[in-house]
Amino acid sequence: MDQQNRSDQMKNSVGTRGQGEEPAAKPDHSEWNQVYLAVVSVLLGPVLLVLLDGCSAVEPGRLWAESDGVGVALWDWTAFTIVVIFTVLQGALYYLPVGQVVEGKMGNQEKRLKYSLNGLHAFGVCVVLLVGAWQGGWLVAGSVTGRVLPLVSAGCAVALLISVCLYLRPDSAHSHENTTGGFLQDFLLGREADPRLGKIDVKQFAMVRIGFIGWGLMDVCYVLRGVESDSVSSALLLTTTFQLVYILDFLIDEDTVLDTKEFMEDSIGFLMVLGEYIWIPFFSSLPVYFLLQRPNHIHFLSAVPVILLFGFGFLVYYLSNEQKSGFRRNPHNPAYSRLETIRSPSGRNLLVSGWFGWVRHPNYLGDVVMMLAWCLPCGFCSVLPYLPALQCFNLLRKRSTEVEESCREKHGSAWAEYCRRVPYKLIPYIY
């Protein structure tokens, strides 16, 4: 079976792949017109600032109001220093002599590119340093969480600096196969698919080290701040635990990012770098930040079904991925002998039983259920903490449509038969 998938939360910015999907031809960015690109790149940061500001229980809307003649701070050099130190630290930890070094896709010189898979170790080192500095009194978590808005601004600035360097790289000017046309598109979408700084693959570095490790560290900072202010709620701990389980699972299987659509096909430009610096760490952790600002204590009897919901989502997500990847590696394994398949004209088999006989994209379903579970402890007083889950559902809904269009072209009548026998995309008996 031809399928390699690792659902991202916006892994969402990382990407997903479903049953029967292979890397397509180079993506066509003609639809990304100049105006659309400009609007997205300009508004991404301000929109995130508005969402974070809206989480405040005391003065939501501080971006538009003034208190004692002083508006809310959107920039300070301490926040910029934090982002720069975090970036440099991740670069140094990339060289840790631990973890696997694997070969990935073919590079421009017809050689397999090599990637260091020590993201889990890097995250562990960062957490130890963070908690150790906090425990030793050298760091006050509130000095970080109180600068969330300036940190977003600093992330925008650092992303801009990195993107300028990527654009001005001498090698990028000769990457004609990745040039989308026009300065704005080349800068925002990128001209190189696999730029490297020494042994560091910039795209993997941004997706894993900046995006996901940054997300995990912000969650830890929020919890430490809750301890400092004696406002750690059961809901905060529950949501943080769910998110850290999700992040750790991703880092344990870091190699799965190498097969995603974005990693295989897309160039890296300002939009991708910006997303990893601000959208993944701060938008994905929005439910935790919301609970830090508006503590919500949930009863044990309410927590149990939420925990079960997350566990169900994680099992569906994990086991469906394991089933498809195991079947793809060795379809003759006795563990898969009972699974029913449909022979495709492409010469491959499509699973039509097991998890993929339930819905066509069970891994996507598990992803959505997990994200819904870590939003529920926030209660129902605001839609803000549910926005990441809504965005995830929308992204995966669109991705499932893209995957199915690709499968329809590749597998023809076999895919039509599969859809007839498994009529639901994401939610059994509903959608």
Alpha-helical runs (H) found in 295-425: 300-329, 362-375, 387-411, 413-421
Residue 341 to residue 364: CA distance in whole angstroms:
21
- Alpha-carbon torsion 418, 389, 386, 299, what sign? positive
Residue 21 to residue 410: CA distance in whole angstroms:
9
Q: What is the pLDDT of residues 259-282, one digit of tens each?
A: 777 787 788 999 999 999 999 999
Which pLDDT belongs to residue 6?
39
Query: Which range has the worst mean pLDDT, 274-278, 302-306, 412-416?
Result: 412-416
Residue 145 to residue 140: CA distance in whole angstroms:
9
Q: What is the pLDDT of residues 315-360, one digit of tens each?
A: 999 888 888 877 777 777 777 778 888 887 877 778 888 888 888 8
CB distance 280 to 215 below 8 Å: yes
pLDDT at 64 over 90: no
Pair of tokens at residue 233: 């709620």
Predicted model pTM:
0.86
Which pLDDT belongs to residue 416?
87
pLDDT at 178 over 80: no
Name the residue among 64, 236, 61, 71 with its Cα closest to residue 145. 236
Label residue 61 by pLDDT band (50, 70, 90). Answer: low
pLDDT at 73 over 90: no
Which pLDDT belongs to residue 293?
92
Residue 350 to residue 30: CA distance in whole angstroms:
32
Which pLDDT belongs to residue 406?
84
Alpha-helical runs (H) found in 194-343: 202-204, 213-228, 234-252, 261-265, 270-274, 286-293, 300-329
Pair of tokens at residue 425: 């995309």
Q: What is the pLDDT of residues 20-48, one digit of tens each?
A: 454 444 444 555 577 778 888 899 999 99
Q: Which residue has 């974070």 as its token pair?
A: 52
pLDDT at 72 over 70: no
Which pLDDT belongs to residue 102?
83
Domain residue ranges of the chain, discontinuous segments joined by +: 1-9+298-431, 32-297
Name the percent of the chain lying above pLDDT 70: 85
Residue 321 to residue 256: CA distance in whole angstroms:
11
Residue 61 to residue 57: CA distance in whole angstroms:
10
pLDDT at 152 over 70: yes
The better pLDDT of the pair 73, 178 is held by 73
Which pLDDT belongs to residue 179?
57
Residue 408 to residue 396: CA distance in whole angstroms:
18
Name the percent of the chain lying above pLDDT 90: 47
Which pLDDT belongs to residue 228?
93
- Give Cα separations from 404 to 130, 349, 380, 425 (angstroms): 44, 15, 34, 9
- Give Cα separations from 278 to 44, 65, 148, 220 (angstroms): 9, 24, 10, 17
Which residues does 153 contact at the CB level (< 8 Å), separation at least 6? 45, 49, 74, 75, 79
The better pLDDT of the pair 150, 40 is held by 150
Q: Give burial (CB, 10 Å; 0-12/13-18/19+) of 137.
A: exposed
Residue 191 to residue 186: CA distance in whole angstroms:
6
CB distance 15 to 260 below 8 Å: yes
Q: Give burial (CB, 10 Å; 0-12/13-18/19+) of 225.
A: buried
pLDDT at 367 over 60: yes
Name the residue among 312, 345, 351, 252 with its Cα closest to residue 6. 252
Label residue 289 by pLDDT band (50, 70, 90). Answer: very high
